[in-house]
Structures are given as C-alpha cells and as structure tokens.
Structure 1
Amino acid sequence: MKKNSSTEQEDNQDQNDSDDDSDHFSEVDESETHVGNTDTLLDHIPDDNPLCDTGLTFAPGEGQRPISLYSDPDAEYLSFPTIFCGQRRPDNKDRSVSVHYTDIVKWELRSMDRRVAQSVPNIFFQVKENSVKKHK
C-alpha cells in the first residue's frame, strides 16, 4: 500500500507540474531573442512622409582608398590593446641598431611577459605579417 501512495503522490506532482507550465512563463523575453538581427542605422520613416532622396555618409575616410591590414603600420598594436596597451614599438629609425621584424616576434614570444605568447590571434597575425614583409 505504501508503494501505491508514493505513486499517487508522484502522479499528483506531475499534474501540478503540468498546471504550472500552463502559465506560459518563459525566462527568455520574446522581444530579446532577435536583438541585433533587427537593429539598423535607419530611422523609421512614417508612411505619410514622401520619400526622401538624401543619403547619409558615414565613412570617416571618404574619398580615401582602403589599405591592407598588413600594410598598416599601426594595425598590430591597435588590434591587440591588451598586449601592447596602445604603445607603439620603436621604429628602426629610432633605434641605434636596426632590428628585423622576425627578431622582434621571436623575442616577444620568448619573453617573460606571456601576453604575446598566449594570444593565438596575435601569433597568427605576426606570422602573416612576417610572410608579407618577406615577400615585399
């Protein structure tokens, strides 16, 4: 009989659980599920306004030709702010002895400061930049 009463209690609990689900509560708000997919830079134009033929330009270097990421001298230290903290490496013109990019990369990877060696994207960036510099 004891077994029967525990089975009945479980059945009652299952019924209560199914009743709780009927309140249609969801921890995820439906309005938040598509955030980012529907965001645009366009303003809502009401239907009663005539079409406007003015355009917005938001290119900061309008009229300029884009340059390759690997030919930009500032790309590496701007792309990895946690490694370089916005500080540019000294240029060879500022050094008493000229140093090749390969030597700089090897030193950074072997350095006591492990930020460079632990950043996989930075390592791939350095390898690609090194190959681009060799083929120039």
Structure 2
Amino acid sequence: MKKVFLGGTCNRSTWRDKLIPMLSIDYFNPVVDDWTEECYQEELRQRETCDYCLYVITPRMTGVYSIAEVVDDSNKRPSKTIFCVLGKDGKDIGEDKYEVFRFDKGQLKSLDKVGVMVERNDGKYFNSLKEVAKYLNGDK
C-alpha cells in the first residue's frame, strides 16, 4: 500500500485531522508530544521511504523549516513531493467560538512562488486538502 509523509504546519493546526479521513492510503504523522532526536531520525527515515512527501502550510505556521524541507525534497525527490498552501486555518475554541488564522496577501504571494518552484522541479502544488486527497488516492 502507498504511504504519505504528513509534513508541514504543526502548532495545533488541524489539517492532518481533516485530511487523514479522506485518505485511502497509509500515512506517517510526525507530530508527537515530545520531540526527540529519535523522532527526528524517524522523520528522516519516513521522508526517504514514503511514496509521497506532503507539506501542508497554514497560517498557524510559526517556523519556516517546512518550507526548506519542501524545496529540498522537490530537488532531491520531485516525483514524490507535494506542496499545499491553505489560506486559512482555524479551530473550535469552545462556547460556539471559532478562531481563524489567515495569511496576508504578501505571504500568500510568497508561498505561491514556492509552489511554482516546486512545480518547476516536477513536484505537485495544491491549494486544498480535497485536491491533495484526490491526488494521493489515485484520482488524478
């Protein structure tokens, strides 16, 4: 069975929770409560062995390492690299309240340029989890 590495925004983003039920393939979720050197080594191994390396970037992103990873993978293993930018990310914060994070126009323009770079390297670039799931499930 095919397998996808679920890289990208952590920081309490819920994109993985939304994508996983849409998948008909196996996945590796690198998010853990306590990040250790062993976790890092397992992530590197999974990036090498998974059929696909997916990087979903949302406005909950605080670091930029995932951007470096997707560009690196689009150069080293373009046929298995997938980049997805979601313009907003939110979560239920209780009592019928929902917290929404959004990229500004400049951030979206910059991230789109990264997506174009990934595509030029023969990777895939999407702007929705539905498109990602469709591609991963073989509904190309």
TM range (shorter): under 0.3
Please tell me whether Structure 1 or Structure 2 has the larger radius of gyration of its CA atoms.
Answer: 1
TM, length-normalised to structure 1: 0.22
TM, length-normalised to structure 2: 0.22
Bigger relative contact order, structure 1 or 2 (CA pairs below 8 A, ≥6 apart): 2
Going by fraction, where is helix more abundant, 1 or 2?
1
Going by fraction, where is strand more abundant, 1 or 2?
2
